[in-house]
Structure 1
Amino acid sequence: MRFVAYVDEAGDEGFGKLADGQSTGQSKWFSIGACIVASENDRMITSWRDEIMGAFKNKNARDLHFRELNHDQRVHACAMIAQKPIGGCVVSSNKITILDAEELNVFKRKQHLYNYLTRFLLERITAVCKRRAGFSGKKASLHVVFSRRKGTDYEQMRDYLKFMRDGKEKLRPVRSIDWSVLDPEDIAVENHKVRAGLQIADLFTSAVWKALEPNGYGRCEDRYARELASRLIKFKNATLNCGVTIIPPYSKCPLNSEQKAFLDWIVSQK
């Protein structure tokens, strides 16, 4: 059974001056997320995107970009995608927790945090694809499409995946990408503007990021993520640590009252 995962990110990887709610700076959170579809539904993604854009005033636009939408448009787009046969998965790193850690110099390396979160993302996606295919007595395979980012070396990403697949890590992870589902050669890189699937992945990733990243007034907005929550993938009926994964773990992560309320609500979803 063939699946496609479209991958996008929200926030930035920088560890310089972080925004504090009243001043500008780099984001406190960095998120990598994906939308996942079975291959027979992949051909429908463009029509789903067009259906969303058709409800907006500029009906000639075909590039759905979360940051360019106003609040009402974001709510509408997320509510419409929640009605489609699609899955969402987002991994979010609280960068504040890395600032005083010994690993800071490691995570400051170019693309390191991006690769690190992508690993968590693919662990969860390959697991859910395998379970889904198993319900029909089939094997699963996954094609991954990354949104092209300036300065990101996707050959390095492919080499990183091969390094893990070949068991060359010094410390074995608790979880692992299921290599029976994903071949490191089966990844591609496309421009956000030309692939509707990447635009839908942007909705999932940015929706969860907005629920965690304080805005210029120090407030978080979780309405978008709540609209999409029914499409977030689950493991044993739990969304947390599957459809939404927090690094460090939720129980060890410093959170404000809005972030905690959102994640408590995610935990309550069955």
Structure 2
Amino acid sequence: MSAPDHEFIAYIDEGGDPGLRRVRPIDEKGSTEWMVLSAVVVSRAQDANAKAWVADICKATGQAHDQVIHFKDLEPEHKLLAAQSLGALPVRIFTVASNKKNMRRHRNERAERIPSRQWFYNWLVRILMERLTDWCLRYSQKHKLGRRHVKLMFSQSGGHSYSQTAAYHELLKIQGQSGTYLKKWVPRSEVMSMHLVEAHPHYAFAGLQLADIAASSFYQAVDNLDTGPCNTQYAIALEPRVAYGANNDKRDYGIVLQPTPPWKADISDDQKEIFQHYGYDFTPPRWAI
């Protein structure tokens, strides 16, 4: 079966790693405390401008010589410039941020029945897809577009099998059609196709470098182990383009915190700051006190 014609492209990158066996700061040596997955969604028509957008950002941040954005290598003032630039572009941004302390050594036996070595990564992809595909479907319906599918472009990272991700993508589509999951969010099968899933090196597509800005900005907002104290200014600069749902709420849509509910998340006050900015309330209900 050939790939359907697509209207949107979602460029996806990550911050942190999906390791669960040992997790800092519980373990002195281990994987990152957070795993962040971000998508920058652009229309097919606007995607033609992405290379010029990146060139402008590179020029503004002193990277004009190689025309490739490496957010982590930028000086703080240039990181802010890059984030502000992305926040002014005609894109939509989605982010899932998982604090992994409660997932340490966790096994999802149901997910493990599906042949995959990366169930946790795929689970985060699923959360991202639930919101992202909802937005694509709503947008295409509102504007009566002839095309509505979204193409997923992953930034290649060592240890991930993107063929497994594509297969999982198809499973989500089938489950969405059959109503397998009785929950608030389901991936919208109307805009999904396993034939529209690709993975490429970061430098190969300008859109992947935009996704790097988004993922790195939110990672630095929550991480206080590897990148220094939590720095929310970059993620806040993206606010104009962070997606909002049908109820005009960015919380649990454009920005998603795991675990849930938020008051159960074992995170510090500085880590809560970016989520509070986007509408999260960490006050436990009276019955839980």
Cα distance in 1 between the residues matched to 2:61 and 2:190: 42
Query: CA separation of 1:58/1:91 partners in 2, compared to 1, >3 Å: closer, same or farther?
Result: closer
The match for 1:141 among 149, 168, 184 is 149
- Structure 2 residue ranges without an equivalent (≥5): 1-5, 281-289
- Structure 1 residue ranges without an equivalent (≥5): none
The match for 1:184 among 194, 207, 217 is 194
Question: RMSD across aligned C-alpha pairs, in angstroms?
Answer: 2.6
Higher relative contact order (CA 8 A, sep 6+): 1
Provide the residue aligned with 1:28 in structure 2. 33
Cα distance in 1 between the residues matched to 2:170 and 2:22: 34
Cα distance in 1 between the residues matched to 2:107 and 2:164: 24
Identity of matched residues, %: 24
Cα distance, 1:56 vs structure 2: 2.9
Cα distance, 1:171 vs structure 2: 5.9
1:194 counterpart = 2:204: yes
Query: CA separation of 1:115/1:19 partners in 2, compared to 1, >3 Å: closer, same or farther?
Result: same
Provide the residue aligned with 1:81 in structure 2. 86
Q: Describe the SS at the equivalent of 2:189.
A: coil
Provide the residue aligned with 2:254 in structure 1. 243
Cα distance in 2 between the residues matched to 1:217 and 1:4: 29
**Deviation larger for 59-68 or 39-48:** 59-68
**Deviation larger for 201-210 or 137-146:** 137-146
Q: TM-score, normalised by structure 1?
A: 0.90
Count of residues paired in the alignment:
267
The match for 2:56 among 26, 51, 58 is 51
Query: CA separation of 1:190/1:245 partners in 2, compared to 1, >3 Å: closer, same or farther?
Result: same
Cα distance, 1:102 vs structure 2: 5.5
**Deviation larger for 256-265 or 199-208:** 256-265
Cα distance in 1 between the residues matched to 2:134 and 2:79: 29
Query: CA separation of 1:177/1:209 partners in 2, compared to 1, >3 Å: closer, same or farther?
Result: same
CA contact (8 A) 1:32 1:114 kept: no
Query: CA separation of 1:100/1:25 partners in 2, compared to 1, >3 Å: closer, same or farther?
Result: closer
CA contact (8 A) 2:61 2:74 kept: no
Provide the residue aligned with 1:232 in structure 2. 242
The match for 1:213 among 223, 236, 243 is 223
Q: Describe the SS at the equivalent of 1:238.
A: coil
CA contact (8 A) 1:3 1:141 kept: yes
Cα distance, 1:245 vs structure 2: 0.5
1:172 counterpart = 2:181: yes
Cα distance in 1 between the residues matched to 2:106 and 2:161: 26
Cα distance in 2 between the residues matched to 1:217 and 1:127: 32
CA contact (8 A) 1:98 1:104 kept: no
Cα distance in 2 between the residues matched to 1:200 and 1:263: 21
Provide the residue aligned with 2:284 in structure 1. none
**Deviation larger for 233-242 or 253-262:** 253-262
